[in-house]
């Protein structure tokens, strides 16, 4: 199932994508045509947990040893923007960069989850652009400022529920800037696999339904400027498209 949140006029619509329409899941039974709907981020998380270096090919590119344990940081939910929304280039940076990532959406409240029970807690998958002010990231000890501006977390276009993805560790992931391929890898290059990541994060903090864990980016990160169109495609999920303004 593909679950999305949309805006129709001033009304929020949450439902399952079916063909060229949305079957409304909250409220009276109804089918709304997809045309004319604005995509919202598919979830309203209490937090967005991001992984630092998690692709072996990206570690090689940087000449770094793979980390022994995941490096995690947070992005605020106020950074979210949906498919089709604009990424605002902040005045405070001179180097805005994209990062294509597969994101997990949690389906159950959990804490201290065992690895072999972790997948049951995942509702599904979506796509995130972990937009980063690279100059500020290098300048600051903490990455909060570099990762947290409004619109620095494009997410969507929708959630693909877990049962639709046979193996989340075999998905092609690609990023195109103005149609040109800039990142291309596969989730088989993950250093830390999803069950371990969920286990690891849940040993730190309670995960709530709708919380997002973004799984890190492959090689090829680079700059964006106003006017650019950035598309991230993950095999079996879809395309997340945004513009920089």
Closer residue to Mg ion, CB minimum distance, 24 or 72: 72
Closest-by-Cβ residue to Mg ion is: 130
State in angstroms the smallest separation of the CB of 98 from Mg ion. Answer: 10
Our finding on whether 183 is near Mg ion (CB under 5 A) is no
Nearer to Mg ion, 1 or 71 (CB): 71
CB of 72 to Mg ion, least distance (A): 11
3 state DSSP class of 199: helix
Q: Which two tokens stand for residue 17?
A: 């994508």
Instruction: Give the x/- contact pattern for Mg ion in 202-241, rule: CB under 5 A.
Output: ---------------x------------------------
- Cβ proximity to Mg ion: between 99 and 231 the closer is 99
| Nearer Cβ to Mg ion (15/70) | 70
> Binding to Mg ion (CB under 5 A): which residues in 113-142?
130
DSSP conformation class of 34: S
Find, among 151, 144, 149, the residue nearest to 74 by Cα: 144
Asked if 79 and 150 touch (Cβ cutoff 8 Å), the reply is: yes
Per CB under 5 A, which of residues 27..66 are in contact with Mg ion?
none
Please, which residues bridge with residue 55 across strands? 190
Segment 78-117, which members bind Mg ion (CB under 5 A)? 99
Please state, in angstroms and rounded to a whole number, the distance separating the CA atoms of residues 71 and 53.
7
Min CB(31)–Mg ion separation in Å: 37
Give the C-alpha separation, 103 to 47, whole Å: 13
x/- map, 139-158, Mg ion, by CB under 5 A: --------------------
Least distance to Mg ion, CB of residue 116, Å: 27
* Shortest CB 214 distance to Mg ion, Å: 6
Cis peptide before 157 (omega within 30 of 0): yes
Local structure of 156: helix, strand or coil: strand
Residue 23 to residues 6, 18, 28, 113, 184: CA-CA distances in angstroms? 12, 7, 10, 33, 33
Q: What is the DSSP letter of 226?
A: T
Of 22 and 211, which has the nearer Cβ to Mg ion? 211
If the CB atoms of residues 126 and 217 are measured against Mg ion, the closer one turns out to be 217
Nearer to Mg ion, 99 or 174 (CB): 99
> Which stretch of DSSP H or E encloses residue 144?
helix 144-148
Closest approach of Cβ 53 to Mg ion, in Å?
A: 9
Residue 232 structure tokens = 């991230």
List residues binding Mg ion (CB under 5 A).
99, 130, 217
């Amino acid at each position: 199932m593909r679950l999305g949140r949309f805006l129709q006029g001033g009304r929020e619509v949450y439902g399952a994508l079916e063909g060229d329409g949305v079957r409304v899941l909250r409220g009276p039974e109804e089918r709304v045509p997809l045309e004319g709907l604005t995509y919202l981020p598919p979830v309203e998380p209490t937090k967005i947990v991001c992984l630092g270096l998690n692709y072996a090919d990206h570690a090689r590119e940087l000449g770094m040893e793979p980390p022994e344990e995941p490096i995690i940081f947070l992005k605020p939910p106020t950074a979210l923007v949906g498919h089709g929304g604009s990424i605002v280039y902040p005045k405070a940076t001179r180097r805005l960069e994209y990062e294509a990532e597969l994101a997990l959406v949690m389906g159950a409240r959990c804490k201290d989850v065992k690895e072999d029970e972790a997948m049951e807690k995942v509702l599904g998958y979506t796509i995130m652009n972990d937009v980063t002010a690279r100059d500020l990231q290098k300048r600051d000890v903490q990455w909060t400022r570099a990762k947290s501006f409004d619109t620095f977390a494009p997410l969507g276009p929708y959630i693909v529920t877990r049962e639709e993805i046979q193996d989340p560790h075999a998905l092609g992931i690609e990023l195109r800037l103005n149609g040109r391929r800039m990142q291309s890898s596969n989730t088989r290059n993950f250093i830390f696999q999803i069950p371990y990541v969920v286990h690891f994060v849940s040993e730190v903090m309670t995960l709530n339904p709708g919380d997002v864990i973004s799984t890190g980016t492959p090689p090829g990160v680079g700059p964006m400027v106003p006017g650019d169109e950035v598309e991230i495609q993950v095999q079996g999920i879809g395309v997340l498209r945004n513009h920089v303004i």
